[in-house]
Structure 1
Amino acid sequence: MTLPLPDADALAYSEALKRRIAYEIESSAGWIDFARFMQLALYEPGMGYYSGGAHKFGAAGDFVTAPEISAAFSQTIGAQAEQIFALSAPQLIEVGAGSGRLAADLLLELERRRSLPERYAILELSGELRERQRRTIGHSAAHLLARVDWLDRLPERFDGLLLANELLDAMPVHLVLWGRGDDDQTILERGVAWENKALVWRDRPAGSRLLDRAQALAEECQPPPGYLSEIGLAATDWTAAWAGILGKGALLLIDYGFPRHEYYHPQRDSGTLMCHYRHHAHGDPFFLPGLQDITAHVDFTAIVESGVGAGLDLLGYTTQAAFLLNCGLTEVLARIPVEDHRRYLPQAQAANKLISPAEMGDLFKVLAFGRGIDTTLIGFAQGDRSVSL
C-alpha cells in the first residue's frame, strides 16, 4: 500500500517526535516496551497524535467515528442517558470526546427530552481537542455551552453517567509473542529499539505482571507457537479505577473488539494492532509517529473481569446494532418524514452503517457497568451477550 505523504511542516512535526522517542529508547538501555512507544506516539504533550494539532476526526481527518456518521447515534444514546439519570443523578462525564460531535448532539437530544444533565463534563487531555470540542458545541448548541466543563483528571467521586466512545482502543497495549524458538513455552515481549536512525522491533523475555497475564492467557486460550497479540493492561487498570470513583450510576463503554475466546482465536495470530492515516488502515506503527492513530481491538472479557473484580456490577454487553435498536434508533429516524427523500435517505443510509453486520453493527460492542442500579438498562433489554464473555 502506498500511503500519502504529509507536507513539509507535518513531516518535521513527525521527525521531532521520532527524535523524542529515540531519546527515550537511548535513555532506557536501548529498548522500550510497545505500550510506552504507543503512549509517546499518541499522547506525548504537544507532540503525540492526540495531544498535538493534527486533524483527526471526520472526512478531512484520518477516520470517521459513529457520531460523525449520523446524529442519530447520539440521539439514540439520549434514551439510555435519560434512564440512567433517572436511576442515579443528572450528571454526565464523557471521556475522550473527540471532535465534540457526540456531546453537541447528545445535549440537544437531552434538551428535547427535557432531561438535560446539570453538568456535562468532558475529560480531555489535549488542549487542541478541547478547543475543537468547544467550537463544535458552540456552533451547534451555543445555548447549552455553559453546562459543559472540561476536566483535567478523574473525579474523586461521581454519580451519574460516564460515557466513552472509542476510548479503550486507543489506550496503550503490550505486545506479546508466545512460544517462539526451541522452547515453545517461552513468552517474549515485543518492544521497540533504535537502530541506524530507524525504529525497529526487538523481543525480550516478558517479565513481572505482563508475564503472569500472558501465562494465564496461554493456559486458557492455548495460543500456537509464534502467536503474536496484545494485552491491554492500561484499559483494564482504567476500568478498575472507576470502582473507587462511581457512587451510584453507570459506565457506558462503546468500542470495537471481541470476547476473549474470539480475540485470541488461533487464526488471529498477528493480533489486532492497526494504524489509521488519512482514511487508510495499515499495520506499521512506525510510519510517521504523531501523524497517525494507533489502535488495538478491545478484549471485553478482560475489561469485565477487571471491572467486576474491582467491585462494579456488569449491567450488560451487546452489539452496537442491538443497543441502538433497543434504544429507539428506528423511532429517531421516524422523526424525518419518509417522503422527504432529501433528508430521509442519507440518514437511513447512515443509520444502516451503524447497525449493519458488514459495517459497525457487530464489530462494535456496548458494555455497561454500574453501581446501585437494579433495573435492566433499555439498551440491553434484548440481545444481551454477557454470557459470551
Structure 2
Amino acid sequence: MHTLLRRAMNDAGGWLPFDRYMSLVLYAPGLGYYANSLRKFGTMPQQGSDFVTAPELSPLFGRALARQVSQALRVSGTDTVIEFGAGSGALAEQLIDALEVLGTPVARYQIVDLSGTLRERQAQRLQRFAPRVEWLDRWPDEIHGVLVANELLDAMPVQLLHWTGAHWRERGVEMDARGMLSFSDRPTAARPPTPAQADVSFVPGTVTEVHVQAEAFVRTLADHLKRGAAFFIDYGFPESEYYHPQRTGGTLMCHHLHRADPDPLALPGQKDITAHVNFTGIALAGQDAGLTVLGYTSQAHFLINCGLVDLMETADLGERAMAHRLMAEHEMGELFKVIGFVPGEEFDAIGFSTGDRSYML
C-alpha cells in the first residue's frame, strides 16, 4: 500500500487530496481495505473482524426492512431489489427470505460491490438463491425496482477542510523519504455548504468534511431510477448539526478490531475509514436531480414503524437483546438515520409513518 501511495503522490506532485487518499486506501484493487482479503464484518474481534453492521447484529433488521421494501415493490409494480455495498451478504439473505414470506418474492436481487473478495463471500452465502442473485459491475442503464444501501454513504471518500480563522484550506496527505504520512493543507475554493458569513462562527483549527462523492452518487441514482424507490441507512446528521460551530473535529473515524480511532494515516489499507453523512446534502442532491424525499427519520422510528417490535415478540431472549440495540438511543437507534427517495409520485411509506424528521433537513 505504501508503494502505491508513494507512486500516486509522485504522480500528483507530492500531495494527494484526502478524498483521493481515502479512495486508494479503501478501494485500490487488491490492496485497499474493501478490496483485500482481510475480514471486515462480525461480532468477534478475536476472529479478525473490525466492526458489526445491523444485519450481522440481528436478522430482525432485514425482516423489518423487508416490510418497507415489500410495500415499495407493490406500489411501483416491480420485482427487483438492487443493493449497493452488500458486505457479508447478510442483508441480502434476510431480505430475500422475508420478501418471500411477505408475498412479494423478488425475481432478481442485484448486488453492486467493488470488492471481489466480498463478492466471493456473498456468492457462498447466497448460493441457495441462484440464479436470482446477480452481481453488476456498474449501474444498470435503468432501475425498475427498490434500491437499498446500509452503511454505504459513510464509506464514500470525503474532502477534508481546515478553517484557519481567515480561510478554508483543503487538507491532503504527503509522504516523507522514510515513508511516513502526514497532513498538509493547500488553498482551495471548496467550503462547507454553509453561508459565507457563518465562517466567523467556526473556531480556528476546525476540521470538517464535504461529501462531494456521496452527493454525486445520489444524483447518478436519479438518472437511473425510473420506477421504485431507494432507501439509505447510515449514521449522520442534518446540516445544522453537522456543521455546528462546536463540532470542531469533524466526524472522520477509523475502525480496526472493534476499536475506533481518529487517525486515518495509520495502517493504511488495514482499517476502515468513515465519515458521518450530511443528510441535508443528500436530500438536496436527490431533489435537485428530480427525486422526491419520501421521508427521513431515525433508525429506531423506521424499524418500529416496520414492525420490529412485533417481530421481537416471537424471538428468543438473546435475539430480543440484540434487536434492542437496533433501537436503543445510546446504541444504533438514534445515531443511524434512514432517508427514502422515489422517482415519481410519492406514497405513504410505512417506515416514515411516525417520527418523520424531513422538516429538519
Once residues 193 and 122 of structure 1 are traced to their aligned partners in structure 2, the CA distance between those partners, rounded to angstroms, is: 35
User: 1:195-248: per-residue Cα shift (whole Å, max 9, x none)?
Assistant: 1321111010113xxx2x437454457423221100010000000111111111
Equivalent residue, structure 1, for 2:153:
168
Answer whether contact 1:322 1:383 (CA < 8 A) is retained.
yes
Answer whether contact 2:2 2:179 (CA < 8 A) is retained.
no
2:72 partner SS: helix
Equivalent residue, structure 1, for 2:202:
223
1:268 partner SS: coil
Q: 1:58 aligns with which of 32, 42, 47?
A: 42
User: 1:138-192: per-residue Cα shift (whole Å, max 9, x none)?
Assistant: 3xxx1x23210000001111111000000000000000012x1xxx331100100
Answering whether residue 110 of structure 2 is matched by residue 121 of structure 1, we say yes
2:249 partner SS: coil
Q: CA deviation at 1:375?
A: 1.7
Equivalent residue, structure 2, for 1:83:
71
Q: Map 1:240-255 to 2 at 5 A.
A: 240-255=219-234
Answer whether contact 1:87 1:373 (CA < 8 A) is retained.
no
Q: Map 1:174-193 to 2 at 5 A.
A: 174-178=159-163, 180=164, 184-193=165-174
Q: CA deviation at 1:46?
A: 1.0
Q: Which amino acid aligns with 2:156?
A: M
Once residues 160 and 207 of structure 2 are traced to their aligned partners in structure 1, the CA distance between those partners, rounded to angstroms, is: 7
2:144 partner SS: strand
Answer whether contact 1:32 1:193 (CA < 8 A) is retained.
yes
Q: CA deviation at 1:39?
A: 0.2
Q: Which runs of 5+ in 2 are unaligned?
A: none
1:146 partner SS: coil
Equivalent residue, structure 2, for 1:7:
none
Q: Map 1:38-57 to 2 at 5 A.
A: 38-57=22-41
Q: CA deviation at 1:333?
A: 1.6
Seq. identity, %: 45
Q: 1:296 aligns with which of 275, 290, 298?
A: 275
Taking structure 2 as the reference length, the TM-score comes to 0.95
Q: Map 1:260-271 to 2 at 5 A.
A: 260-271=239-250
Once residues 203 and 293 of structure 2 are traced to their aligned partners in structure 1, the CA distance between those partners, rounded to angstroms, is: 32
Once residues 77 and 205 of structure 1 are traced to their aligned partners in structure 2, the CA distance between those partners, rounded to angstroms, is: 44
1:177 partner SS: strand
Q: 1:197 aligns with which of 176, 179, 183?
A: 179
Q: CA deviation at 1:52?
A: 1.1
Once residues 297 and 141 of structure 2 are traced to their aligned partners in structure 1, the CA distance between those partners, rounded to angstroms, is: 29
Once residues 348 and 285 of structure 2 are traced to their aligned partners in structure 1, the CA distance between those partners, rounded to angstroms, is: 21
Q: CA deviation at 1:105?
A: 1.1
Q: CA deviation at 1:249?
A: 1.2
Moved more, 274-283 or 223-232: 223-232
Q: CA deviation at 1:335?
A: 2.8
1:23 partner SS: helix
Equivalent residue, structure 2, for 1:313:
292
Equivalent residue, structure 2, for 1:214:
192
Q: Map 1:254-293 to 2 at 5 A.
A: 254-293=233-272
Q: Which amino acid aligns with 1:160?
A: G
Q: Which amino acid aligns with 2:186?
A: R
Once residues 259 and 164 of structure 1 are traced to their aligned partners in structure 2, the CA distance between those partners, rounded to angstroms, is: 19
Once residues 365 and 189 of structure 1 are traced to their aligned partners in structure 2, the CA distance between those partners, rounded to angstroms, is: 28
1:94 partner SS: strand
Once residues 9 and 183 of structure 2 are traced to their aligned partners in structure 1, the CA distance between those partners, rounded to angstroms, is: 12
Q: Which runs of 5+ in 1 are unaligned?
A: 1-16, 337-343
Answer whether contact 2:291 2:344 (CA < 8 A) is retained.
no
Once residues 173 and 196 of structure 2 are traced to their aligned partners in structure 1, the CA distance between those partners, rounded to angstroms, is: 23
1:350 partner SS: helix
Q: How many residues align?
A: 354
Q: CA deviation at 1:117?
A: 1.1
Answer whether contact 2:32 2:269 (CA < 8 A) is retained.
yes
Q: CA deviation at 1:293?
A: 0.3
Once residues 51 and 292 of structure 1 are traced to their aligned partners in structure 2, the CA distance between those partners, rounded to angstroms, is: 12
Answer whether contact 1:228 1:271 (CA < 8 A) is retained.
yes
Once residues 177 and 218 of structure 1 are traced to their aligned partners in structure 2, the CA distance between those partners, rounded to angstroms, is: 15
Q: Which amino acid aligns with 2:150?
A: N
Once residues 129 and 259 of structure 1 are traced to their aligned partners in structure 2, the CA distance between those partners, rounded to angstroms, is: 31
Q: 2:321 aligns with which of 332, 349, 355?
A: 349
Answer whether contact 1:249 1:370 (CA < 8 A) is retained.
yes
Q: Which amino acid aligns with 1:229?
A: T
Answer whether contact 1:248 1:373 (CA < 8 A) is retained.
no
Answering whether residue 308 of structure 2 is matched by residue 329 of structure 1, we say yes
Q: Which amino acid aligns with 1:358?
A: H
